[in-house]
Amino acid sequence: MRFRTELIIPESKRKIQHSQSIFGVGSCFVNEIGEKISDSKFRTLLNPFGTLFHPLAIENALLRILSLTYYTQGEIFKNEELYFSWDHHTSFDRISMERTLQHINSELEKANEFIQKADVFILTFGSAWVYKLKETGLFVANCHKVPGSLFRKTLLNDSEIRQSLKNCFHLIQDVNPNAHIIATISPVRHVKDGITANMLSKAKLISNLHEVLKTFEKVDYFPAYELLIDDLRDYRFYKPDLVHPNEQAVDYIWNKFSETYFDAATTEKIQLANDIQNALNHRPLNPETIAYKEFLYKTNKQLAAMENQFPKGSFTNEKQVLQKLMKYAD
């Protein structure tokens, strides 16, 4: 008897290696999968504008990063005590204009430098709904808890979505013609829009993305949305808010991603990195025992032997933690 329909994803011919750099931008699902990639010791940069939801916001971020167009004081606004940018997530908000600008432009510079050498791009689109300022008609990436009366909520039409998606892919290919682009639709449910409106939004994104992909041979579609909504298909795979996938669901999607994009050698290296993490997370009943000291020595030797298989500096934090543990055990 079968109790679910498992989604079988064809193995990608374009494998992701540790020698490659990975840039991720889009909804919070980029952060979920991106953290898994980062923990696996790939060179990564995730959401330098913070979480972005709709295609226009992602397109704008890519354009500003690639052109290295710095933000100015005229693009920073204030709501109550905090200064913010309409292009950025609330995590960039600060209590002074100078600090907000400094943080925004610092991350912009880092992203510009990173993206020039990036090999793999993961783009996750979350919603086709956008909010536009009534006064200027400017779309925003985040409303920053500003009164809703200042905005007009609009559903992007098919033409707008397709053009924005094309622009995103073209911008990436302009800087790296051979870039491996992976496009996904976020499985996070935007229930604040209403369930019907959320489904309409996701349907528009999926249908238009597939239409655009017909003309982009080097862009993959990874079915993160379908894995949660149809394959797992149960509220037990959501966090208590019933909106975001829980740890079990993220692990399942990560395993599917790994099977699709990692070869056996890369998977083995990821396991080595996980083994080091598990060793460092181990907490003995008595850290003064000879057995624990031997365990730390063995872990340190294992780390030294495998370190050169990963990008330089991948285990800087782990080495520092290990040295502290060994010093404490002495």
Mark whether 257 and 280 lie in a shared domain.
no
DSSP for 74-91, written as a single string: GG-EEETTEEE-TTS-GG
Mark whether 164 and 226 lie in a shared domain.
yes
Query: Distance (Å, rounded) from C-alpha 47 to C-alpha 23?
Result: 8
Mark whether 51 and 129 lie in a shared domain.
yes
What's the average pLDDT block by block, 10 residues per block, for the chain (330 residues)? Answer: 87 95 93 93 96 97 97 95 96 96 98 96 97 94 92 97 98 95 95 92 98 95 96 94 94 97 95 88 78 83 85 86 74
Query: Distance (Å, rounded) from C-alpha 62 to C-alpha 108?
Result: 10
**Domain boundaries, position 44:** 21-262
Q: Which residue has the tokens 């109550």?
A: 80
Residues 6+ apart with CB under 8 A from 238: 244, 245, 246, 249
Query: Distance (Å, rounded) from C-alpha 200 to C-alpha 206?
Result: 10
Grouping H, G, I as helix, E, B as strand and the rest as coil, residue 291 is helix
CATH number of the domain at 246, please: 3.40.50.1110
Q: Could you tell me if 109 and 5 are in contact, meaning their C-beta atoms sit under 8 angstroms apart?
A: no
Q: Which residue has the tokens 């005590």?
A: 81
Question: Residue 134 domain-assigned?
Answer: yes
Domain endpoint, select from 262, 292, 317:
262
pLDDT of res. 232: 95
Relative orientation angle of helices 316-329 and 290-306, to the nearest 10 degrees:
160
The closest of 209, 235, 252 to 32, measured between CA atoms, is 252
Q: Which residue has the tokens 């604040």?
A: 192
Question: Residue 170 domain-assigned?
Answer: yes
Structure tokens at 244: 């975001």
Domain endpoint, select from 262, 284, 311:
262
Point out which residues pair with 154 in neighbouring strands. Answer: 130
Residues 6+ apart with CB under 8 A from 36: 250, 254, 257
Mark whether 208 and 304 lie in a shared domain.
no
Mark whether 219 and 310 lie in a shared domain.
no
Which parts of the chain fold into alpha helices (H)? 28-39, 55-67, 97-115, 158-175, 195-213, 224-226, 247-261, 264-281, 290-306, 316-329
Q: Which residue has the tokens 């795979």?
A: 237
Amino acid at 273: A
Query: Distance (Å, rounded) from C-alpha 22 to C-alpha 44?
Result: 5
Give phi and psi for 13, each to the nearest 5.
Answer: -80, -20
pLDDT of res. 177: 94
DSSP for 51-69, written as a single string: ---SHHHHHHHHHHHHHT-
Mark whether 76 and 43 lie in a shared domain.
yes
Domain endpoint, select from 226, 243, 262:
262
Query: Distance (Å, rounded) from C-alpha 91 to C-alpha 112?
Result: 20
pLDDT of res. 127: 97
Query: Distance (Å, rounded) from C-alpha 79 to C-alpha 99?
Result: 15
Give phi and psi for 2, each to the nearest 5.
Answer: -115, 135
Mark whether 146 and 281 lie in a shared domain.
no
Number of domains in the chain: 2
pLDDT of res. 330: 63
